[in-house]
Structure 1
Amino acid sequence: MPTTQDTTLTDSLPFDQSVGFLVRDLNRAIQRHLQARLQEYDVALGAWYFLRVLWEEDGLTQRDLARRVGMMEPTAVAALRGMETQGWIRRVRSETDKRKVFLFLTQAGHELRERLVPEAHAVNLAAVGNMTEDEARMFRALLRRARANFPS
């Protein structure tokens, strides 16, 4: 395991030196700011993640959608129920396998994209607001490289 010359694995790990803490802290700040923007549209943060996936690939099963978002299926069911109540999705039970339920965006669900994606862009821009374009590009590349160090 790599170490730097002036630290060992038994030395303390201050928060400002912990990659895990720094990424979590940044993630929480991004989540808070995104949620504040989404609230103006009466969209919960959990619904945002489902919408993002469905905008890219409509008609997924509840199980596949929950897996892609990284949410346990029972938790996803409650969030999806709320989205259905809002009129953003509709459920269609499989004709061949009654256990499978496919989720499709309604017109209202599709229309949210035009309003919500600019809000997400604004939060992303705020996160890299004090960086140059090259630094922001490098930051994203480094985050992807760090993530690649861990299996899915």
Structure 2
Amino acid sequence: MNLGFQDYISIKLHKTDLNLTNEIKSRLEPYNLAPEQNLIMMLLWEEDGLTQNQLAQKLNKDKTNVARMASNLEKKGFITRSLSIEDRRSLKLYLTEEGKQLGEKVIPIAEEFNDVVCNGITNEELMELERILNKMNKNVDQPK
């Protein structure tokens, strides 16, 4: 039996990703923050002073992409970049006062959005979803 377009799990995951991204995009728009940029900010609100390499690793993004996003965040006045004392080739990202204040507004929005997305889903179901998604990622990451 051949699968129909809507039967592919990758299509269902993609549709869910688009829905989530579009919704968070509209919620972040008033704060001049794109969803991808918000990922960097979330990590910095958790631990200020990460390097661009650390961010790239945590986000599973290439360094060029992270550097571009960091440059945009710097232009918006949310972060500053400075050379690391430990490694002069490495740039560390620090929140500005404006960036810290932004977190006070955006973190509650992210938490509320997480609550909306997880409404009616048990902790056990969330753990199972995470386990399944990790398995899928592992399957894709395996050498062909």
- Give the TM-score range, shorter chain: 0.7 to 0.9
**TM-score, length-normalised on structure 2?**
0.83
Deviation, 1:26, is 1.0
Assess if the C-alpha contact under 8 Å between 1:15 and 1:22 holds in 2.
no
> After superposition, where does 1:39-118 map in structure 2 within 5 Å?
39-118=29-108
Q: In structure 2, do the counterparts of structure 1 residues 142 and 24 end up closer, same or farther at CA, with 3 Å as the change threshold?
A: farther
Runs in 1 of length 4+ with deviation above 4 angstroms?
Answer: none
User: What is the aligned residue count?
Assistant: 138
The residue that corresponds to 2:2 in the other structure is: 12
Q: Pairwise CA RMSD of aligned residues?
A: 2.0
- Structure 2 runs not aligned, ≥5 long: none
Structure holding more helix per residue: 2
| Bigger-Rg structure (1/2) | 1
Indicate whether 1:147 and 2:114 are aligned: no
Deviation, 1:114, is 1.6
Residue type of the alignment partner of 1:79:
M
Deviation, 1:15, is 4.3
Deviation, 1:22, is 1.7
How far, CA to CA, are the matches of 1:16 and 1:120 in structure 2? 29
> After superposition, where does 1:16-31 map in structure 2 within 5 Å?
16-31=6-21
SS at match of 2:80: strand
Deviation, 1:147, is 2.4
- Structure 1 runs not aligned, ≥5 long: 1-10
Deviation, 1:127, is 2.5
2:113 to 104, 123, 134: 123
Residue type of the alignment partner of 1:110:
K
SS at match of 1:104: strand
Q: 1:99-137 deviations in whole A, cap 9, x for unaligned?
A: 1111111222122122112222332233244x2xxx342
